[in-house]
Structures are given as structure tokens and as C-alpha cells.
A = this chain, B = another copy of it.
Amino acid sequence: MKVYFEEIPVSTNKRFELIDITDKVEEAVRNSNIRNGICLVFAPHATAAIVANEHERGLMEDILTKIQEIVQPERNWKHNLIDDNAHAHLGGALIGADRVFPVKDGELVRGTWQNIFLVEMDGPRSRRHVIVEVLGE
């Protein structure tokens, strides 16, 4: 059994933003030299999330629109008495910061329209990072 870790540094430029990290995740899987196993994509952040979906400009805006409607950044959340980012925590909690993909024959398995994104909800941030862990043989 092998376990391989890679860390992808991410800088974000807006308060809400989708950052496509698909290429870097696939590169990490290749770097791992693992043929069959799983790939965990994990953001160690409480105000960001990981999602898999299509890289299409309009859809990426739709996703951010819907998330903001759900988490309501301008609402007087209780957490905002001590900080100003309750909405981002809500998004992180509900969407989740971990996604798991199969690895088969040395390649990440994903659908044609399943690109992998870090969801920034409390940007801009210069020091986000995503942990890619590949486990298998």
C-alpha cells in the first residue's frame, strides 16, 4: 500500500470565486505512481469548500449565485458579532471540504463535466491550499 500527499497552494482574488484545480489534482495522481486506489481532495479551511462540476463560465457564476442566496452574506448572523464571515462558514459546513474520487489504471476517475474546484467564500486570500492525498497500490 502507498500513501502520497501533495499540497496545492491557491490564491484567490474575489470574495466569492471558483478556482479550477483539476489539472493539479490529476498531476498529483500521476506523481503518486499509484495505479488503483482513491484520491481525497481536502481543503483544510472552514470558509471554503470543494465541489466537482463543469467548467463553464455561466454555470460557475450560477453556482456562486446560488451559494450566496443560501448562505446570505449580508444577514446579521450571530457569528458576525465576532467576525464578518458567518456566510462562508455556513457554506463550508453544508457543502463540505472533502471529495473522494476513484483512481483506476493510474488515472483520476471523473465524469467529462466533473472538473474540481476550490470554492472561495471569504476571499481574497493569498494562502489557501488544497491537500491531495492518493492512497492505493
- Interface residues of chain A, those whose CB is within 8 Å of chain B, are 1, 3, 5, 36-38, 40, 42-47, 51-54, 56-59, 61-63, 66-67, 70-71, 77-82, 86, 89-90, 92-102, 104, 109-114, 131, 133, 135-137
Contact A131 B113 (CB under 8 A): no
- Given A44-B110, A52-B97, A109-B44, verify A62-B38 contact (CB < 8 Å): no
Please give me the residue from chain B that is nearest to A35 by CB atom. Answer: B3
Contact A100 B100, beta carbon cutoff 8 Å: yes
CB-nearest residue of chain B relative to A61?
B78
Q: Which of B62, B79, B99, B104 contacts A90 (CB 8 A)?
A: B62
Contacts of A93 in B (CB 8 A): 51-53, 63
Tell me the complex Cα distance, A86–B60, Å. Answer: 10
Check A3 against B136 for contact (C-beta < 8 Å).
Answer: yes
